[in-house]
Amino acid sequence: MRKFNLRRHRSFPLLTLAVLLTTVWQVEAQPANGLLTRAEESGYTETTRYDEASLFLQSIAESSPDITVHRFGYSNEGRPLLLAVVGELHEMSPAAIRQSNLTRVYIQGNIHGGEVEGKEATLMLLRELANGEHREWLETMLLLVAPIYNADGNERIALTHRSRQHGPIGGVGQRPNAQGYDLNRDHMKLESPEARSFVKMLKEYDPHVLMDLHATNGTYHGYHLTYAPPLHPNTAIPIVDLLRKRLLPTVTRTIKDTYGWDFYYYGNTPRPGSGRALGWYTFDHRPRFGNNYGGLRNRVSILSEAYSYLPFKDRITVTKRFVEEILNYVEAHGEAIRAVVESANDESIIGQQLTVRAGFKQSVEPVDILLGEVMSERHPYTGQQMLRRLDIQTTTSMYEYGTFAASALERVPRAYYVPSNLENVIERLEAHGIHTESLDAESTREVEQFQIGSTSSADREFQGHRERTLTGSYELTQAVLAAGTRVVPLDQPLGRLVFMLLEPMSDDGFVNWNLLDEVLVGAAVYPIVRTVE
């Protein structure tokens, strides 16, 4: 694949020549070792814009034989989504990358346009790679780096976005994309061009490790950064064990020993009036969230959350160090990581009882959580309150609610049968990269059909939907399956994802996201049936 050439892409929204010539941000005229991000150039008062990041990527690609810039999709407003591919292969096409025996690592910044630390950190890291640093990584790894995933949201700069976090005082972008969707809730329903671009990238490059870089501004805690592995109970156990027992503890110890910073699993204490007992609660198990979705795709998937009340420069630094230490670990344990991924891909889940709905699981014993304090400062241009982390930590013992347990289970069938008229369901399955087959002729088979007991939709709209919940149970029946019916087998690498998308009681599947509302109105049965085995 050729390098993405900014100047030759006719639909690319370039900055005007006048703006480029009147700014000190002369990217193309500098060698890689002289490049500065806007964050650096501005003394960390501003964040890098999309056009600037694109020029930055082009410049480092032109200066380094090991970096190629690919386009992996588009934003809703037509901005190319750019991927810096870093490696020493002779050919850097997706096919050549997939066929290599190297560990493939995808690093993503800016899924939320106001959480810009990952964008700045990855640009700086790419500059170091272009300058010949971290050479040992490229002996065993290929890096796929997308500094700006939510390209449209990044451009909607306002001084009032994420106003309580400590800078940049020149403003940040908005959380959703141009459609108003939170892209970190769109991994199952795939309603944004960005999410479809993301799953297309996963199919084309097939990374083993996924990193999604954020910032959090919830509880006043004592950590510089918090993180999360995949949280869905259906995630392959070896992937969870790799992250919770080896990778994340190793990185946490190294960071503490090297920099004196405390990292821990993502969490918040309950807000007053929430009705929850005191505890350290993670966010959500559902695969609409990127790290959980990655887990159901059998990938070593990691969420990071820099602490918003650290000054902007410090948030960039801790995010960059976290990424570096993960890459150091992957460089040293790449063979084991690839083996875990391949084992999860090969495991048969047919006949297992897996989760369709889940709730928080309390830790066996209380754990020590580092709570913290902040001080208030005034934004110099808006007068609004910003909060700054104080170097104060209070160890507080509480139960941790960092994992989830099933509240409803269902047996995994050998296959689902999807009627050919459910075109939106079939198209969405294929967009995820799920393998389906088509019946050549009409067939009568004994199947399990879900008898609907009740159906309800949420009172409040979320992401343009009123999420639907079905209850009921399966019964044996004889079904005439028409020619063209799609067979969706579960003995495929994405079987866990198939199960969550098609099970009618799934709390994050196609029923939940209203894809089947038209055929469910007044229906007594769910139209997708499944094998008896």
Domains contained in the chain, number: 2
Q: Is the pLDDT of residue 6 over 60?
A: no
Structural tokens at position 436: 């389906």
432 and 302 within one domain: no
- Residues in CB range of 427: below 8 A, 6 or more apart: none
Q: Is the pLDDT of residue 1 over 80?
A: no
Judged on CB neighbours under 10 Å (0-12, 13-18, 19+), 80 is buried
341 and 201 within one domain: yes
Of 486, 495, 484, 483, which is closest to residue 434 (Cα–Cα)? 495
pLDDT confidence of residue 274:
87
pLDDT confidence of residue 95:
95
* 219 contacts 324 by C-beta, under 8 angstroms: no
* 372 contacts 220 by C-beta, under 8 angstroms: yes
Q: Is the pLDDT of residue 379 over 60?
A: yes
Residue at a domain's end among 324, 347, 370: 347
24 and 103 within one domain: yes
438 and 298 within one domain: no
Q: CA-to-CA distance for 277 and 37, rounded, in angstroms?
A: 44
Over residues 109-125, the pLDDT tens digits come to 999 999 999 999 999 99
Residue 130 lies in a domain: yes
Residue 195 lies in a domain: yes
SS3 per residue for 103-163: EEEEEEECCCCCCCHHHHHHHHHHHHHHCCCCCCHHHHEEEEEECCCCHHHHHCCECCCCC
Judged on CB neighbours under 10 Å (0-12, 13-18, 19+), 456 is exposed
Q: Tell me the angle at which helices 50-63 and 117-130 cross, rounded to the nearest 10 degrees.
A: 20
Q: Is the pLDDT of residue 64 over 70?
A: yes
Residue at a domain's end among 347, 364, 385: 347
Q: CA-to-CA distance for 524 and 11, rounded, in angstroms?
A: 49
pLDDT confidence of residue 507:
98
Residue found under tokens 């850097």: 92
Over residues 243-280, the pLDDT tens digits come to 999 999 999 999 999 999 999 999 999 998 888 999 99
The DSSP line for 399-464 is EEE-EEEEEEEEE--SEEEE-TT-HHHHHHHHHHT---EE-SS-EEEEEEEEEEEEEEE-SS-BTT
**What's the rounded mean pLDDT across residues 40-60?**
98
Residue at a domain's end among 347, 368, 396: 347
Judged by phi (left if over 0) then psi (alpha if -120 to 50, else beta), residue 321 lies in: alpha
pLDDT confidence of residue 7:
37
* 302 contacts 211 by C-beta, under 8 angstroms: yes
Beta bridge pairs of residue 370? 395
202 and 75 within one domain: yes
Residue 401 lies in a domain: no
Residue type for position 6: L
- Residue 291 Cα distances to 46, 193, 267, 283, angstroms: 28, 19, 15, 11
* 273 contacts 174 by C-beta, under 8 angstroms: no
- Residue 493 Cα distances to 94, 298, 316, angstroms: 19, 8, 35
Judged on CB neighbours under 10 Å (0-12, 13-18, 19+), 376 is exposed
Over residues 281-335, the pLDDT tens digits come to 999 999 999 999 999 999 999 999 999 999 999 999 999 999 999 999 999 999 9
**What's the rounded mean pLDDT across residues 377-397?**
97
Residue 343 lies in a domain: yes
- Residues in CB range of 507: below 8 A, 6 or more apart: 286, 356, 357, 358, 469
Residue 281 lies in a domain: no
Range of the domain at 88: 6-220+228-252+290-347
438 and 329 within one domain: no
197 and 89 within one domain: yes
Residue 274 lies in a domain: no
Helix, strand and coil in the chain, % to nearest 5: 30, 30, 40
Q: Is the pLDDT of residue 26 over 90?
A: no
419 and 337 within one domain: no
Q: CA-to-CA distance for 345 and 363, rounded, in angstroms?
A: 29
pLDDT confidence of residue 273:
87
Over residues 501-511, the pLDDT tens digits come to 999 999 999 99
72 and 173 within one domain: yes
The mean of the pLDDT values for the chain is 94
Q: Is 396 helix (H, G, I), strand (E, B) or coil?
A: strand
Q: In this structure, are strands 385-401 and 300-307 parallel, antiparallel, or unpaired?
A: unpaired
pLDDT confidence of residue 533:
72
CA 172 to chain CA centroid, nearest Å: 20
Beta bridge pairs of residue 417? 487, 529
Q: CA-to-CA distance for 170 and 145, rounded, in angstroms?
A: 25
Structural tokens at position 174: 């908005």
pLDDT confidence of residue 532:
85
Beta bridge pairs of residue 372? 393
Over residues 470-523, the pLDDT tens digits come to 999 999 999 999 999 999 999 999 999 999 999 999 999 999 999 999 999 999
342 and 238 within one domain: yes
What percent of the chain is modeled with pLDDT above 70? 94
Q: Is 527 helix (H, G, I), strand (E, B) or coil?
A: coil
Domain with 216 in it: what CATH number? 3.40.630.10
Q: How many helices and strands, by DSSP H and E, does the chain display?
A: 15, 19
* 304 contacts 225 by C-beta, under 8 angstroms: yes
pLDDT confidence of residue 24:
31
Q: Is the pLDDT of residue 10 over 80?
A: no
Q: Is the pLDDT of residue 13 over 60?
A: no
Q: Is the pLDDT of residue 345 over 90?
A: yes
Over residues 462-471, the pLDDT tens digits come to 999 999 999 9
Q: CA-to-CA distance for 66 and 359, rounded, in angstroms?
A: 45
Which is higher by pLDDT, 28 or 75? 75
Over residues 136-172, the pLDDT tens digits come to 999 999 999 999 999 999 999 999 999 999 999 999 9
pLDDT confidence of residue 23:
32
- Residues in CB range of 411: below 8 A, 6 or more apart: 351, 352, 353, 354
This prediction's pTM: 0.93
Residue 384 lies in a domain: no
pLDDT confidence of residue 34:
79
304 and 444 within one domain: no
Residue 361 lies in a domain: no
311, HSE (Cβ side, Cα atoms, 13 Å): 9
What confidence tier does 32 reach under pLDDT thresholds 50, 70, 90?
Answer: low
Over residues 175-213, the pLDDT tens digits come to 999 999 999 999 999 999 999 999 999 999 999 999 999
Please state which of the ranges 29-38, 228-237, 246-255, 449-458 shows the lowest mean pLDDT: 29-38
